[in-house]
Structure 1
Amino acid sequence: MYEKNVGMMKEILASVKDNKLSNPIGEVKETGRIILKNGLVVDPKNNIEEVKDIAIYQGLIEEVASNINPEKGDMVINCEELLVVPGIIDMHLHLGDLFEVSTNPMYGAAANGVTMGLSPGAGNTFMAPALLGAEIDRGLPLNIGVYQGAASVLSTMLSVEELIQLYKGELDPDIAATKMTRNGITNTTAPLIVGIKDHMGHFIMSDENIDKIFEITSKAKLVYMTHTQDPAHALRLEELSKGRPLHLGHATAAGCGTHMDSIEAMKIIVDLCKKTHVTGEFVTTMLRKGGGSREGLIMPKKAQEIAYDALEKGIVDVLISDGQNDATMKGFGDTRDNVPAILELVEMGVLPLKDSVATMTYNPVKLMEEKTGDNWWTEKVGHLGKGALGNVTVINKDVKSAVYTIVNGEVVGFENRAVRRGSGAGGFVSKFGMVKRTGVGDLVIFSLKK
C-alpha cells in the first residue's frame, strides 16, 4: 500500500528490542555535549560575527569553531539562519520580589532569552539572599542575583564600618548575632548581594543616610543603583556622591515626562552619565519604535532620539528590561522587549549588530567587574569564549524572539516558552561570582557533614 518504508528509530530512541527494554542513550559513550550548528555567532568580547559552531560540555563553553563534528550521544541544535549570542544578561530585572505567589516571572524571563537576572527589590532585606537562594536550590531556570534595599541596609544596629565588614565577609559573627539578627541563616548569606538600590519611588532617604550608602557601596565594592525617574533626585544623588560610583537605574524613565518635560529630563540624565563616576542603563521597552509593552511608561519620540544619540556615542551602553509584566512587582518594561529592542536598534542605524548585542551581554559584565573589582564577571559570563558558562541565547531575527535559551548548559527555553526540564539549571550570583546551590533550600531536607 505504501511504497516508502520509514522504519524504526531504535538506535536513537528508547524502545523494546528482543523482548527487552532498549536504552540506546545509556548504551553509547555519552559526551554530554550540546552542539549549536551553523548559527551566525555574534560575540562582542571575542570580536566574532560569523557563522560558526559552538560546543557546550558540562555546563561550560568547550569550543567555538567553523565546524564541530558531532559524536554519538551529542545533542545537536540546528541554528541555520538564526542569531547565536552570549546569554542575555538583564542587570535590572524584578524577580522574586514581594514573595511571588501567583505568577512565574522567572520562567517568563528565561523563555524570553534571559540567562541572568539581577533583582533590585525596593524593600529587599538582609534575608533576600537566603530567600532567593532557597528558590535556586529548589530549582529555577536562570542565574539570579539580588540588590538589597537601601532602607533595609540601615535598619539594624550595625554601624557603617560594620556593614562594610559584613559585605566583605569579615564581620564578627558575635556582632552580627547581637546587632543585626538572631537568624544564623540570614547572618551567613547576607553578604551574597551584588549591590544596593535606593528607591525614590517608595521612600526618600535623608542626605546623611544616602551618604552612608555611598560609603558602604564604594568601600565594599557594591553597585549603588538609584531609582532614576525624577531628574531632581538623580541630580541630588550625584551631588551627594562626591565622586563615588553611582549607577542610574532605568534612566530612560526620566524621559517619559512624569516629573518634568521629557526632553529636558533626558538631557539632564545624559549629561550626568558623561561624568566618569556615573553610569546608566536604558529600558528596552522605552527604546522600541512602537513603544513596546504598554504596561509601563512610554517615551515620546523626541526623548527617544536623545537616548538613541547617547547609545550611539557610547555615553550609555547597557540595556535592561526592569521587569516582567507577569510579576507581582513589575517594572517599567518587559523581558519580551529585550530581543526586539536589540534588533531594532540595528535596523534604525543606532548601533551595529555587535555593539547592540553587547548592551545585554558583555557591557553589563564589564560594568559589574568595574564596580565589584572581581574579574569573574568578564571571565565567566557575557561571552562565548572557552571556559565561559554555557549561557547562550539563540534568536530568530525574522520574528524577533528567542528560539532557544541555554543556561549553564541546559536548554531552559524553546520558542518563547519555558522548558520544564530546565527548572534546576540556574545558580545564585553574588558580587564574588556564582554558586549552583546556596544550601538554604536543602536545610530541611538533609544535612551535610564533613
Structure 2
Amino acid sequence: MLLKNGFLINPKTHTQELTDIRILNGKISQISAGLVPENSEEVLDLTGLTVAPGLVDTHIHFRDPGLTYKEDLHTGALAAARGGVTSVICMANTKPAVDSVETLTDILTRAKKEKINIYQTASVSQGLKGEIMNDFKALKEAGACGFTDDGIPLLDAEFCSRAMENAAELNMPISLHEEDKSFIANNGINAGPVADRLGITGSPAIAEEVMVARDCMLALHTKAPVVIQHISSGNSVALVRLAKELGADIHAEATPHHFTLTDEAVLTYGTLAKMNPPLRTEKDRQAIIAGLKDGTIDLIATDHAPHSAEEKSKALTDAPSGITGLETSLGLGITNLVKKGCLTLEELLEKMTCNPADLYHLPGGSVEEGAPADLVIFNPDETWTVDSFLSKSSNTPFKGMELYGKIHYTICRGEIVYQD
C-alpha cells in the first residue's frame, strides 16, 4: 500500500511534513516525498489529510470475559478502529478477574483474531480483593503488559507498596484506581452544589486526593513505574507534579470527559454523565488542562466503560458509573484542547500515541521506517457528528455533539481496519 500526499505528524520524532508512506508486510518500509507506485500496490491519495501514529489507549474495558452483553473483544475492536485507536490495554476487572495465567492466555489467544492490537493487564490481587498478591512474574511471562485492580482501590498501604516493588523488579507499570471509599456515600457524582441540588451526598475529591498523596510517596520510595488512573481533582494533579519533581517514576491519565465536562453535566445528561471518579468542578477541569499542558499528565486514556441502556436507565444512585469513549476521544481532544489553544495537535497526539506506547513497552506509537504500519488518518479541521456507534453500548453524554477531527482511515498492521 502507498499513502500519497499526507501531512505526517509523528510526536516521537517531532516530525511534521508533507510526505508519502509505503507499507509492506504490515510495516512502514519507506517515508519520503515523491514515492512512485510499484507493481500493483494500492494507492491512497491523502491530500488534505493528517497522518499520525495509531492511537494507543491504556485504559479500556471490553467486558470480556463475563459481561459481554455490554461489549466483547470483537465489538470493542471495531469501536477502537473507528476511533483511530490501533492498540488498547484492557483492564483486569472482568468476570473472572484476570488473576491467573489461564484467564490471561484465553483472552490473549482470542484477541489475536481481531484486527487491532489488544493487550491485557493482569490484576494485582487474587479476585481483586487486595489481600493475596498475584504471581507478577508468571503473568508477565504469559503476556500481561501491566498490573491493576482498576475499579477497586488498593486500600492497604503496605500491600500496595509490595505490589509496587514487584512491578519495579519487572519494570512493569502498575496502575492505580485512587479512591478511599470511607469518604464516599454515593459514587459517581461529585460531592458539592450539584449533588446537593439532586439530594445526593456524592463523592468528594478528598477520597481521591488522600490515595494519590500516599501513592505518590510510595512510587517515590519504590521506584516503580506508577500510573494514577483517570485523574479528576486539581489537587491530585498538583500532587503528581510534586512527585515528578521529587523524582518519582509517576504518570497520570486524563480522560476526555474529565477535561471536557464538569459535574454540571449531570443535571443535563443524568446517568450518562455519571462516572467514577466523578466529573468535578470547573476549577478541577482547568487544573487537568494545565497538567496536560505542562506534562504533569502524560497520558490521555478513555476509560471506555460500556453499559447497557437498561442499566443506565436506572435511578441516578443505582445506575453504574462510566461512559463509552473509544469513538470520540480524538474528536474531543481536538475540539476541546487543540481548537481552544490548550495543546498543539502534536502535543495531543504525544499523549495518545508515543507516551503510552513507551510506558507499556509496546511496538506502536511512532511512524518510522521499520515500525508497525499502525496509523490514523484524519482531518483536524473537518467536523462530524456523534450519531452512531460500533460499540455494543452508547452510554455517552456526547451523542449528538459536533466535533472536529473526522477520521477517514484507520490502518493497523498494514490493513485498513476502518474507512469512512
Identify whether the pair has TM-score above 0.5, normalized to the shorter chain.
yes
Which range moved further: 388-397 or 332-341?
A: 332-341
Pairs aligned (count): 340
Pairing partner for 2:372 from 389, 406, 409: 389
Residue 231 of structure 1: aligned partner: 209
Deviations 1:270-291 (A, max 9, x none): 4445443221111122223697
> Within 2, Cα distance between the matches of 1:234 and 1:195?
19
Alpha-carbon distance in 2 for matches of 1:214, 1:194: 15
For residue 341 of structure 1, the aligned residue among 332, 354, 359 is 332
The answer as to whether partners of 1:196 and 1:222 remain within 8 angstroms in 2 is yes
Provide, for residues 337-395 of structure 1, a one-character-per-residue CA deviation record: whole Å limited to 9, x for no partner.
321133232222222222221111111122234xxxxxxx4xx3211111100100111
Q: CA deviation at 1:205?
A: 4.2
204-213 or 359-368, which deviates more: 204-213
Q: Please give the alpha-carbon distance, in whole angstroms, between the structure 2 residues aligned to 1:346 and 1:225.
A: 27
The equivalent of 2:111 in structure 1 is 136
> In structure 2, what residue type is equivalent to 1:196?
F
CA shift in 2, pair 1:43/1:120, >3 Å: same
Q: 2:84, 2:409 within 8 Å by CA — same for their partners in 1?
A: yes
- Partner residue in 2 for 1:194: 145
Q: 1:197 Cα shift?
A: 0.7
* RMSD between aligned residues: 3.0
- The residue number in structure 1 matching 2:285 is 304
The question of whether the paired residues in 1 share the 8 Å contact of 2:212 and 2:228 is answered with: no
Change in Cα spacing, 1:275 to 1:325, as seen in structure 2 (3 Å) is farther
Are 2:252 and 1:280 aligned? yes
* 2:162 is the alignment partner of 1:212: yes
1:102-140 CA distances to partner (integer Å, 9 max, x unpaired)?
332221112111100011222322133212122124x21
Aligned residue type for 1:145? Y
> Structure 2 stretches of 5 or more lacking a match?
180-207, 312-319, 384-404
1:355 maps to which of 347, 361, 367: 347
Percent identity reads 20
Q: 3-state DSSP class of the match of 2:223?
A: coil
Who is 2:398 aligned against?
none
Whole-angstrom distance in 1 between the partners of 2:133 and 2:339: 51
Contact residue 226 and residue 246 of structure 1 kept, 8 A: no
The alignment status of 1:325 with 2:306, answered yes or no, reads yes
CA distance change for structure 1 residues 157 and 317 in 2, over 3 Å: closer, same or farther? closer
Q: Is the 8 A contact 1:224 1:246 kept in 2?
A: yes
Whole-Å separation in 2 of the counterparts to 1:156 and 1:282:
25
Partner Cα distance (1:217, 1:51) in 2: 41
**8 A contact 1:323–1:330 mirrored in 2:** no
CA gap of 1:219–1:63, structure 2 versus 1, over 3 A, is: same
Measure, in 2, the Cα distance between the counterparts of 1:202 and 1:47.
37
In 1, Cα distance between equivalents of 2:218 and 2:15 = 41
Contact 2:20/2:35 (CA < 8 Å) preserved in 1? yes
- Mapped to 1, the partners of 2:260 and 2:131 lie a distance apart of 46
2:419 maps to 414
Q: 2:393 aligns to what? A: none
User: Which residue number corresponds to residue 194 of structure 2?
Assistant: none
For structure 1, the residue ranges without an aligned partner over 5 or more in a row are 1-33, 170-190, 256-262, 370-376, 416-450
Alignment partner of 1:115 is 2:90:
no
Matched residue of 1:67: which SS?
A: coil
Measure how far apart 1:264 and its partner are: 4.0
**Quick check: 1:146–1:194 contact (8 Å CA) kept in 2?**
yes
Alpha carbons of structure 1 residues 203 and 353: separation in structure 2 relative to 1, 3 Å: closer
Deviation of 1:224 after TM superposition, in Å, equals 0.8
Larger displacement relative to structure 2 (319-328 or 225-234): 319-328
Superimposed CA distance per residue, residues 222-278 of structure 1 (whole angstroms, 9 cap, x where no aligned partner): 1110013522222233344424325334333x33xxxxxxx4454445444544322
DSSP-derived class of the 1:281 partner: strand
Check conservation: 2:28, 2:373, Cα contact below 8 A.
Answer: yes
Q: 1:105 touches 1:324 (CA, 8 Å); kept in 2? A: no
Q: Distance in 2 between matches of 1:164 and 1:44?
A: 32
Residues 330 and 406 of structure 1, relative CA distance in 2, 3 Å threshold: farther
**What SS does the corresponding residue of 2:328 show, helix, strand or coil?**
helix
Displacement, 1:60? Answer: 0.2
Residue 229 of structure 2 corresponds to 250
SS where residue 231 of structure 1 aligns?
A: helix
- The alignment's TM-score, normalised by the length of structure 2, stands at 0.72
Would you say the 8 A contact 1:96–1:132 is kept in 2? no
1:48 pairs with 2:15: yes
The one-letter code sitting in structure 2 at the alignment partner of 1:340 is G
